[in-house]
Structure 1
Amino acid sequence: MNNLRVDVLLETERRSTSPVSLKFLARIVGGAAASIVAVVIVVLFIRAQQAKKELGALQTEWAKTEKQHQKVQKYQTAFRNDKAIFDEIEGWRACRMSWREQLDAFQQIVPDTIQLTALRIGESLQLVDDTAALLFSMDIAGRARGTAPRQDVSNLERRLLRSPGFVEVVESAEVRPGSFTKDPAPDAEPHHRVFAIGVKFKPREFVSETAGR
């Protein structure tokens, strides 16, 4: 007996013997990949927005901080300038002489036989070893009317170098050449003399805190 087989399915209607077709898998994989990419894009967009927001906040904060920093720098510069001026003034004040101690001491060392006719104090600014210094001087003029005028003048000269109030600050004291002469006053005795003594004080260097740094 012959068996007769009849296919009622068209060629295009036949199914693959595979449980899942490759085309179906490709569609699934493609859809999943697209979903993953979409999720990644959304996450990156959210992160970018957050980063932009944080950056804006930081820029605002930095602008405030920068203004404060500039203000602090301005005050620091003004303070340094003011302090430099103050140090200059203090430096000059410290190197000056008050003269009170010297004038008080001067009254004690002048012999009774000497009559002062002039007392002048000079001041000049010079460089001493490349450092600014004030140089003071004292010019003394007078009459010696004792019985030993030369000795009296020599004693005054010596006291200007050795007496308290002078020994610490005086560099030299000497009778001006040609100044020890006969007193021309009408009431002067033959042995009376006039004289002039020049006193040089030790340089008083000006050193400020800023110069020392």
Structure 2
Amino acid sequence: MRSACIMIVEDEPKLAALMADYLHAGGYDTTVIANGLDVIPSIKASMPDLVLLDLMLPGRDGIDICKELRSFSHVPVIMVTARVEEIDRLLGLEIGADDYVCKPFSPREMVARVAAMLRRANYVKQDSAPAAGLSMDEDKHEAALNGQPLDLTPVEFRLLKTLYDNPGRVFSRDQLIGKAYADYRVVTDRTVDTHIKNLRRKLDLASPHHELIHSIYGVGYRFDA
């Protein structure tokens, strides 16, 4: 079972290193981003399980980042801020953050907040689990819906597995490209749309009139039961 990956967005090197050390001790993998301009591309490329997002960053502030992030992802976000005024706290939550910690903070408290947020996110994921009729065997590279085998290409299998493992989560086309093509080849959005169209057709043959993959206009796709 893989460890959850936590993205630390913090421009103070010593604090970022301290946060990473405590999270590693808690059993998590981490990546560290120091510049606000790098955050969105990094999230789209790596899809972390949770983001610790500093409010004040060079290049782009945390509020602006969180607003854009919420346009394509529901990844849990814990805002980290030294600005303790109530309006800042409210604003941080209203723009899509799930929680916040105020500097200076106890590293142990931070790890506890991360653990609680991941448990909550996992509960929601399980509560909206995908249709029981769909089964996927990654080792054998086989998938079946309602007992009927799905003749999927390797790319279609990886796309479906990504969506199936994250019910209700919206994936952008760039994120799906990163999951479907391990060799990082240049692929257009239209290519992803074509794969999704073919995947939908095969799912529909096995379970007519039950749309499992939904298009989110201007954003991407999500899997629903």
Tell me whether the two structures share a fold, i.e. TM-score over 0.5.
Answer: no
Q: TM-score, normalised by structure 1?
A: 0.24
Structure whose alpha-carbon radius of gyration is higher:
1
Higher percent of residues as helix:
1
- Larger RCO (CA under 8 A, 6+ residues apart): 1
Give the alignment's TM-score, normalised by structure 2: 0.23
